[in-house]
Structure 1
């Protein structure tokens, strides 16, 4: 894997605001480079284990700010959308995986810019075909309307729409069998995560005392009052890592999902619901730990979207 870009974008849960609309749950534009600087502090140790860890400077060089002002804003060309457009148009023939942990609006703007520039020209058919064969869009919970309103209507991209698997991995971990959740409880975190260096120092845990500037009060999981209001949790319990599934999909170890999404992978298994479009909504798998077929988080997804509520609020269901 090669990190081609890191682009900050918005979603229905987070946006920076504009002249007409105030910011909502916006935590700023500097936290990604700040995290990369912390990565730099441990880089010399990481390359002892694998020399292919990307250099800190290479990560800083590909950081851009995309469309962040509002939910689904894709009218403005931004540094991030233009950077992504250039990646789509370059001569690199490898697949370009766009892992979408928020809204697809920056991706939509990049595609729209290409369409506006080339549609109606002699190059359009070739460029459109090239991008459709190159780009793989992995969406974690469709978090604005730009995929349905623009991308899917104008582009035939290979799309993995994960509206379910992230729930199994992170948000509902309190409901998992003991064999799995033992590595997510406070005891394990205190042994293996706390006080392990400058990079992991910023890793958020329940009740760890950290206050995230810009976040709304009900989502301040590091605060004592949140812990008091949620007695099912202990101090230093795991929060969630739902977005990690899109990254795990690219780990080519044992499972063969990278060959075809229906095969299954560390990023989940998908069902083809339309040509080149894959979803988790109709995928039900057998869980050997519970000895039953499961698809138990689909109801959570609907509530999250309609109410804009954190998945953590549903852990006790």
Structure 2
């Protein structure tokens, strides 16, 4: 296919070469909801082979979508493109399998149609290839598709860079009225995988109303790399299996884009917080969801020049929101690859149809209920086209529900189940998932979701906050509210410099800082910052929770650890303050204690200071978190800066002194962490007094890909030092000259309570 082939004339695009003959599968489809999402891919084919992998999966499921464009474009890993040859090879393989696929399900697009919408997008990188004279067949195709008289939204999926989409938006913004531009943008739904050029930030900054998801939780859901599943169930299966390459880095990193809109009954893709095969996302837009680490290497301020820009991002579960459905999507792919090599309908397995309370569609349903009521849900009438035996599973999906405690479901493996609405669920939503699966080979799943809206007004304590994001706009003073964060009750302490989440002891006595968000939305401590990167054998090698300050024995002030701690607020005389809905002021004081320790945390707009009231056992202060506050950033080197201004690399490996020449004495009253983003704030940590004797060990090390740990006095012989004015100060500071940063930090050391 020639790169300058233009396919966007209306007559050509209108041709839909679908097979006219009726199939057994078509009859099944007619019984269910035939709604198909409209999608266009832009892919940097030829960079990472995962694009080829994702395209094979998409093609064997293409009867579920209206694919309106396959656009070869660029990204940070492939900054130029000049042909569609790799795409053509995969479409040729699809052409060989098309007759077989059409036997097993209706609606597969013809090879001729797919080839007619396979075009070149931008052939240069990022925003350097957007603007006057930069139109491409791909950008024109996007405009034509969005202009169609079709009420369905158009999902534009960036498997590579976003500049072909940016060019389409740029042209419409330059050639149409504001009202026409608004109409055009209202039809678009952008799903950006990881951010692979600077065009996404440009779009989000200049067109803030556009529906824009940047998915960063796209690793960790896949089967084992180059394992039995990939070899036996995919690659060994005919023409499409032969063009499914071995995994080089990560398997199918772009697949979540179209799995998000997969019409399997599990979720409504417009409701991005519901969760499905493509992940779960927050409706609270976040500032500064950064692209892949290669983008700032190409141009340091490529994205930051557009700060602040806001996008929808993954919820805290990241890839776990995908992985929870792994048997369903893995078996779906395997079965469809079986279809591609089978010319006999009876030689392969096919999906059951799940019926929920008599509804045969794939829509998400909702119903009303009262607290304390029992609700009956029914899957009766569900059936399997192969006559296989069906099994049922009803489950409470807590993450998208606003009710967060346990929900009892009776007869959860029967076709009829009873949901006991909790007495304290007034004003909350309860998401119940139905999974219907057959006993074929491989067994296939169908899903339905019932959202139960419980009547009444909610109680304040159970409110789920907009966690995973900073307080926005930032207050000039300090604002404290009580929220649930990572399933634990916390004080949300919003200040001018950043937002802190401190577990308040109400959840199993847990106390400690579980998150510290800067103004760009980066979490500098905790937040499962080592998720997906921890190479240790702890907890099965999956991930390890980190937080701050990990203060003393018995898990006192160790986030997400059970202890016998309590927390409360006091005035400046130490008198307890009754906390109702919120507290605000320029200087707020919280106490936290157990039988061995009692601390005061003093919060100011610019920083926080910790005072030791009582300590009857040894303790140490640790800072544990990701450099730059970005848990998934790819960091080649991590640096900490002392009073002398030298940027010292944090050593990888394990426990050890910061520098051999330091011995056991930390030669600075403070350190701060530096990242590559000049516009972000950075965290600082200062010891106000000597934090230990000469024998106390002061250590720092790197763990996993992006986790750093600093310890002030970790030796076993270290005893508590009580009565000091303040043991440490921490907060955020603007990036500027080291002299100015040092002056600011030292002023807080000198006067920590001002």
Name whichever structure is richer in strand by fraction.
Answer: 2
Q: CA deviation at 1:27?
A: 8.6
Larger radius of gyration: 2
Number of the residue aligned with 1:87:
145
Distance 2:635 2:82 in 1: 24
Bigger drift between 273-282 and 108-117 goes to 273-282
Counterpart pick for 2:220 among 168, 174, 199: 168
* Correspondence 1:38 to 2:93: yes
Counterpart pick for 2:162 among 104, 120, 132: 104
Could you give the per-residue CA deviations for residues 26-79 of structure 1, whole angstroms, max 9, x where no partner exists?
Answer: 695311122111100010000111121111011011111111222332131111
Answer yes or no: is the 8 Å Cα contact 2:84–2:119 preserved in 1: no
Could you give the per-residue CA deviations for residues 217-257 of structure 1, whole angstroms, max 9, x where no partner exists?
Answer: xxxx4xxxxxxxxxxxxxxxx95011000110111224224
Counterpart pick for 1:268 among 279, 286, 291: 279
Structure 1 spans left out of the alignment, 5+ residues:
17-25, 171-179, 207-220, 222-237, 308-313
Could you give the per-residue CA deviations for residues 261-281 of structure 1, whole angstroms, max 9, x where no partner exists?
Answer: 011111000112339942016
Describe the shift of the 1:288–1:56 C-alpha distance in structure 2 as closer, same or farther (beyond 3 A).
closer
Distance 1:288 1:64 in 2: 35
The number of residue pairs the alignment matches comes to 251
Q: CA deviation at 1:118?
A: 1.0
Number of the residue aligned with 1:9:
73
Q: Which has the higher contact order (CA 8 A, sep 6+)?
A: 1
* Correspondence 1:116 to 2:448: no
Q: CA deviation at 1:134?
A: 1.2
* Correspondence 1:57 to 2:98: no
Number of the residue aligned with 1:280:
314
Q: CA-atom RMSD, angstroms?
A: 3.2
Number of the residue aligned with 2:20:
none
Q: TM-score of the superposition, structure 2-length normalised?
A: 0.31
Answer yes or no: is the 8 Å Cα contact 1:163–1:281 preserved in 2: no
Describe the shift of the 1:303–1:64 C-alpha distance in structure 2 as closer, same or farther (beyond 3 A).
farther
* Correspondence 1:148 to 2:201: yes
Distance 1:41 1:29 in 2: 19
Number of the residue aligned with 2:689:
none
* Correspondence 1:78 to 2:136: yes
Q: CA deviation at 1:302?
A: 4.0
Describe the shift of the 1:257–1:303 C-alpha distance in structure 2 as closer, same or farther (beyond 3 A).
farther
Q: CA deviation at 1:92?
A: 1.8
Could you give the per-residue CA deviations for residues 139-159 of structure 1, whole angstroms, max 9, x where no partner exists?
Answer: 101111112124432351111
Name whichever structure is richer in helix by fraction.
Answer: 1
Q: Secondary structure at the match of 1:138?
A: strand
Answer yes or no: is the 8 Å Cα contact 1:205–1:239 preserved in 2: no
Answer yes or no: is the 8 Å Cα contact 2:125–2:163 preserved in 1: no
Answer yes or no: is the 8 Å Cα contact 2:79–2:124 preserved in 1: yes
Answer yes or no: is the 8 Å Cα contact 1:163–1:301 preserved in 2: no
Describe the shift of the 1:151–1:271 C-alpha distance in structure 2 as closer, same or farther (beyond 3 A).
closer
Counterpart pick for 2:255 among 240, 244, 247: 244
Answer yes or no: is the 8 Å Cα contact 2:219–2:253 preserved in 1: yes
Answer yes or no: is the 8 Å Cα contact 2:195–2:214 preserved in 1: yes
Answer yes or no: is the 8 Å Cα contact 1:257–1:269 preserved in 2: no
Q: CA deviation at 1:282?
A: 4.8
Counterpart pick for 2:245 among 204, 212, 221: 204
Answer yes or no: is the 8 Å Cα contact 1:139–1:159 preserved in 2: yes
Could you give the per-residue CA deviations for residues 52-109 of structure 1, whole angstroms, max 9, x where no partner exists?
Answer: 1111011011111111222332131111111111212222221100011011100010
Bigger drift between 146-155 and 57-66 goes to 146-155
Distance 1:49 1:27 in 2: 36
Distance 1:156 1:87 in 2: 20
Distance 2:229 2:199 in 1: 40
Structure 2 counterparts to residues 219-258 of structure 1, below 5 A: 221=248, 239-258=250-269
Distance 1:185 1:151 in 2: 36
Q: TM-score of the superposition, structure 1-length normalised?
A: 0.69
Q: Secondary structure at the match of 1:189?
A: helix
Distance 1:144 1:102 in 2: 8
Q: Secondary structure at the match of 1:253?
A: coil
Q: Secondary structure at the match of 1:261?
A: coil
Distance 1:191 1:283 in 2: 30
